Chains A and B, each alone.
Chain A
Amino acid sequence: MDEKYFSRLNQYRSLWVLVFFDLPTETRKDRKIATSFRKKLLDDGFAMFQFSIYMRFCASRENAEVHIKRTKKNLPPKGKVGIMAITDKQFGMMEIFYGTKKQETEPPSQQLELF
């Protein structure tokens, strides 16, 4: 059936939350903190985009807020962390390259997926 019956799930409503971080790794303790921050992102459903950029698809603004809030709660004491949310539409317009070869951007999570 056409989109008119599924208006709640469109590219402008769904968001991608991106977390960028630079954490100190000088001492053993710092590394431990950095690893645990990364592990918590993974537990929360984030996936690695680049070494210190993690991203997560969220079906709605409310849902994105939940994950932003959770990330804020887990912030390490030192280091720089950026959190950003953009719409799926904007995310889809990103251009990704491997060398000079163009790559497809990550498709959004579908409400229904068949494996």
Chain B
Amino acid sequence: MIKRTLFFGNPAYLSTKNEQLHISFPEADKVDRTVPIEDLGMIVLENQQITITNGLLAKLTDRKVAIVSCNAQHLPEGLLLPMQGHTEQTERVRYQLEASQPLKKNLWQQTVTAKIKNQHALLQEKGKESKRMEYLYKNVNSGDSGNHEAQAAAIYWQELFDIPDFNRAQAGIPPNNLLNYGYAILRAVIARALVSSGMLPGVGIWHRNKYNAYCLADDIMEPYRPYVDLMVSHIVETQDDYSELSTELKKELLSIPALDVKIDGQKSPLMVAASRTTSSLFECFAGISRKIIYPEYG
């Protein structure tokens, strides 16, 4: 089932009662609300004046709700996930840690292929044909030794938006701000799925930057990025001003977990597909399967 996302942009007191998330507001005239914890997938705490009880935090982590806290600039800063995400956690982590180098390279090859293929499909949908991209995804080497990922990215970012001199950078010109936000949400969704499949999101198959706490999440989210790009390009095409991350725009980006994707021949919400991907990843680590199941754009 698709889990719900709650976004708190106003002051609120969050506690728990009857196994529910209980929300009350400092304003006297606002009525309290309750939400079943088991229906939740992610909560985003954006306002600085949110009070949350430990009892609630414990129940949320127990239900594997990803809790995203934001800094004073309203940008996602921290992610709280349970220590135990799966009953077979320790065994699964061992499989992950013991994965051989050739296996990891093979998984990375599959990941890059799926990513470029999705990027290509998105460009194609926008009427921007690229023969070069097609060549790149059809010829990814083990471990992407030819670095096709970067070559494809160079073409992709030039083509995707009709913005002169656009390039993808953390502090780049808009819509980089939208992309950063969207990817942060996507990352939380993927990290949550990884943890609930019993894996460590910190130990990647390709990403291994020592400053990055979510290497595996960053690996696995690659083929999902074009869905964020789709949403951002939709915003760019329909909104006049997107230089500021308004609540309206955040609302749009926060619906990413509910976006329809096609996975394994079926239509499914992105958040559900993410779990499908992470469980197939575990099967690869455990030697049960050789294929990670990624969504296919289009």
Q: How far is the CA of A70 from the CA of B9 in the complex (A)?
A: 34
Q: How many A-B contacts are there with CB distance less than 8 Å?
A: 83
A6 at the interface (CB under 8 A from B): yes
A100 at the interface (CB under 8 A from B): no
Q: How far is the CA of A29 from the CA of B241 in the complex (A)?
A: 64
Q: Which of A4, A62, A110, A115 contacts B1 (CB 8 A)?
A: A62
B39 at the interface (CB under 8 A from A): yes
The segment from A42-50, A74-82, A90-98 found at the interface with B is A42-50
Q: Which of B19, B252, B254 contacts A1 (CB 8 A)?
A: B252
Q: How many residues of B contact A (CB 8 A)?
A: 34
Q: Does B231 contact A114, Cβ atoms closer than 8 Å?
A: no
Q: Does A6 contact B259, Cβ atoms closer than 8 Å?
A: yes
Interface string of A35-71 (1 = CB under 8 A from B): 0000100111101000000001001101100000000
Chain B residues closer than 8 Å to A7, beta-carbon distance: 260, 267
Interface string of B1-41 (1 = CB under 8 A from A): 11011111110100000111001000000000111101100
Q: How far is the CA of A9 from the CA of B247 in the complex (A)?
A: 22
Please name the residue on chain B nearest to A64 by beta carbon: B1
Q: Does B4 contact A109, Cβ atoms closer than 8 Å?
A: yes
Q: How far is the CA of A4 from the CA of B18 in the complex (A)?
A: 37
B106–chain A nearest beta-carbon distance, Å: 32
Chain A residues closer than 8 Å to B12, beta-carbon distance: 115
Q: How far is the CA of A10 from the CA of B67 in the complex (A)?
A: 26
- Also in contact, A6 and B35, with CB within 8 A (given A59-B2, A111-B5): no
A113 at the interface (CB under 8 A from B): yes
Please name the residue on chain B nearest to A60 by beta carbon: B1
- Also in contact, A8 and B260, with CB within 8 A (given A39-B18, A62-B1, A113-B7): yes
A1-44 interface with B by 8 A CB criterion: 1, 4-9, 39, 42-44
B157–chain A nearest beta-carbon distance, Å: 21
B251 at the interface (CB under 8 A from A): yes
B202 at the interface (CB under 8 A from A): no
Interface residues of B (CB under 8 A from A): 1-2, 4-10, 12, 18-20, 23, 33-36, 38-39, 231, 234, 247, 251-252, 254-255, 257-260, 267-269
